Amino acid sequence: MNSVASDTRAAESKWTGLIQRTAAGDQHAIAEFYDATSHLVFGLALRILGDRSAAEDVVVETYAQVWRRAKHYDPSRGTPCTWLLTLTRSRAIDTRRARKHDRDSDPIETACDVQSSTPDPEATTAAAERHQFVRSALNGLSTEQREAIELAYFSGLSHTEIAAQLAQPLGTIKTRIRLGMMRLREVLGHLAPAGLAVGKPS
């Protein structure tokens, strides 16, 4: 067996173990799996979508799905990489179809909408409720994840600036934000919180 094949088998064995630990609820395992494989997920999503921001969203959604579906992974039916990229491809294609539907929708009616400068009481109440949901979801994260996300999305700091402020490696900060965003997407998916979009510059 050549060294490349040997390295591939070793990686697959390690990733299988990480998926199994993820299935048992080990957050460190999915963080390690993310660090080892996210470049593959992002690359495939970017090839399908051709848009970095949309591809980053797919990365988050894919690992959220990994977290939920890890217990269903069967090594006898495919390698960890094949399983992961199958999930990625499905999410990316769904995203591409949704984006195409948005582009194809008739803009005439919305073009005739007149925006009022007076706040709508119903909209104000809905915004307050969304804020409460977001704050509650943030409080459910680990302290490290919440701190990194608040600095990124509420203080406007880049990943590099957060790493410097917290004296942590850049990769650690990115992982904390990704894992925190995965959790927020699960909890707040029905709200589609625009204020928590992924993809800040590093």
**Do residues 31 and 98 both lie within one domain?**
yes
CATH number at residue 25: 1.10.1740.10
State the amino acid at position 170 in one-letter form.
L
Domain count within the chain: 2
**Do residues 137 and 64 both lie within one domain?**
no
**Do residues 14 and 88 both lie within one domain?**
yes
CATH number at residue 152: 1.10.10.10
- Domain of 184 in residue numbering reads as 125-196
pLDDT in tens, the chain (202 residues): 456 566 777 888 899 999 999 999 888 888 889 888 888 888 899 999 998 888 888 888 898 899 999 999 998 888 999 999 999 999 999 998 888 765 554 454 444 444 444 445 554 455 555 556 666 777 788 888 888 888 887 667 788 888 888 888 888 888 888 888 888 777 766 554 444 444 444 4
Residue 1 belongs to some domain of the structure = no
Closest residue by Cα to residue 196 from 152, 142, 162: 152
Residue 110 belongs to some domain of the structure = no
Can you spell out the DSSP letters for 6-45? HHHHHHHHHHHHHHHHHHTT-HHHHHHHHHHHHHHHHHHH
Residue 174 belongs to some domain of the structure = yes
Which two structure tokens, joined as six digits, stand for 151? Answer: 């600095």
**Do residues 66 and 139 both lie within one domain?**
no
**Do residues 84 and 149 both lie within one domain?**
no
CA-to-CA separations, 131 to 57, 114, 193, 199, in angstroms, rounded? 21, 26, 9, 21
